[in-house]
Amino acid sequence: MHGSTNETDCLIIGGGIMGLTLASLIKEFNSSIKVDLYEKLQGVGLESSEALNNAGTGHAGYCELNYTPMGKDGKIKIKKALEINSKYEITLQYWSYLSNKYKSFDPKNFIHRTPHISLVFGDDNIRFLKKRYLLLKKHHLFKSIIFSQNRKEISKWANLTMIGRGSHQKVAATIVKEGADIDFGAATNALLKTLKHKKDFEIHLNDEIVKIKESKNNLWEVSVRNNISREMKKTFAKFIFIGAGGQAIRLLQKTGIHEQKGYGGFPVSGQWLVCSNQNIVSQHNAKVYGMAPSGSPPMSVPHFDLRIIKGKKTLLFGPYAGFTFKFLKTGSYLDLIKSLKLKNFFPMIYVLLHNWKLFHYLIRESFQSKHDRINLLKTFYPEAKEKDWSIKIAGQRVQIIKPNSLISGKLEFGTEVIISKNKKLAALLGASPGASVAVDSMIKVIEQCFSEKLSNSEFKKKIKEMIPSYGQNLITNKKLLKRIRLSSHKTLGLKD
């Protein structure tokens, strides 16, 4: 039985950092645009954006070594790190704007200055890290990066990593002291606070999208089921954004748009070791990233990681990757099977066959004992004791399987926005770095899909107020970056 019907200008599926960022931007640009946001859980920021579900927080390219890969020619490529860092600065600018405008948007609730450290061992990895440092140091985005092979200095940066470490082991590290820890679940709720009392914005919790189809009147017809009452209702939308984490691929398939054909998802699960000894937690004040183990996916780079969750310091290590059939932590073990369609069957099988080493690695990781996990932790924290750590489930990540042809595909690590030809639907697929570049991603959606509702002069005036660097390149504009950071980093508490 169908309940009430509704019509909206913009229907957003998913109450994570992406969905709330898009809703916030749209309402800041044009308050008359009607926005309805649907979330199947009882609150926002509870799935991929939630602190312990998020694989890495504060993504800025400062310490993630997988963003600076070494090519076959032996040269380190820093382009991705520069791109991620400049996009991260766009997010910080927007948050700075919101912080100055709304008392309810308090950065102290979700962002905290936390040094970002890369730590490596052995001659080969040290040579790599030093080369990386020398390349990044030349660029104004990374001018504050520091390199050291001095154990006493590294100990000052991350004391626990050096206690009990054998004097024979060669060690090196880099640090960027103005890094940050970000609780994206708390940031999502902060965005919601700025929206709750705005006219023509409505949030629908416990409401799950079950069907999406194009109707004859040029609108999307969406069927919604309430997960508490089980009541069904219909709503109509001029535009839809799908930002539902791992479930985005299955929702995109429901739309039937041409652009989704051949796409699939490769789910990866994760687990953390979380420290229960507050005496140990109090001694660590940084994010320490290392090298990914051989054969592991890029997003499984191990990190010895300080998080500030609800004002409390939390120390964790991981994530330990694994394989699962779920697309969401709260999803179904049938998600992967149900995502198999005629149009993506062969690209997905092709990717699975050509990535069997990765598949084998994930299965092996899933069955690791706690003792084995502690042994990996000891490479970062030599004096780690099993009794001080417990295992907690991290969030699900679904990597993109992208079609190359009707029978072949490619496994992509990263995020991608898919937009329908008629610009009436957009969907975000993939995982990391996702959250930290949310503002840049959602501005691109608005530019392409809402151009008729945004007059050119007013749009540019407003966006320059919100993001002063808009239309300019922070990678090439040294003076602009210095001015931007001086302002936004100060507002957000990232400066000394």
All structural domains of the chain: 2-479 (3.50.50.60)
Average pLDDT over residues 123-131: 96
Average pLDDT over residues 3-7: 70
pTM of the model: 0.93
Mean pLDDT score of the chain: 90
Over residues 441-489, the pLDDT tens digits come to 999 999 999 877 666 777 888 899 999 999 999 999 999 999 999 999 9
| CB of 249 closer than 8 Å to CB of 368 | no
Q: What pLDDT, on the 0 to 100 scale, is given for residue 455? A: 66
Place of tokens 């808009």: 470
Looking from the CA of 47 toward its CB, the CA atoms found within 13 Å total 27
Q: What pLDDT, on the 0 to 100 scale, is given for residue 216? A: 79
Checking if the pLDDT of 64 tops 60, the result is: yes
Average pLDDT over residues 97-121: 96
Q: Is 395 helix (H, G, I), strand (E, B) or coil?
A: coil
Q: Tokens for 8?
A: 């909206």
Q: What percent of the chain has pLDDT over 70?
A: 96
Q: In this structure, which amino acid lies at residue 329?
A: K
Checking if the pLDDT of 1 tops 50, the result is: no
Q: Tokens for 179?
A: 């890094």
| CB of 318 closer than 8 Å to CB of 380 | no
Q: What pLDDT, on the 0 to 100 scale, is given for residue 294? A: 63
| E-only strand ranges, 374-443 | 389-393, 397-403, 409-412, 415-419, 425-430
Average pLDDT over residues 232-254: 93
Average pLDDT over residues 41-55: 88
Counting every residue written for the chain, the total comes to 496
Over residues 376-434, the pLDDT tens digits come to 999 999 999 999 999 998 888 888 888 888 888 888 877 889 999 999 999 999 877 77
Checking if the pLDDT of 2 tops 60, the result is: no
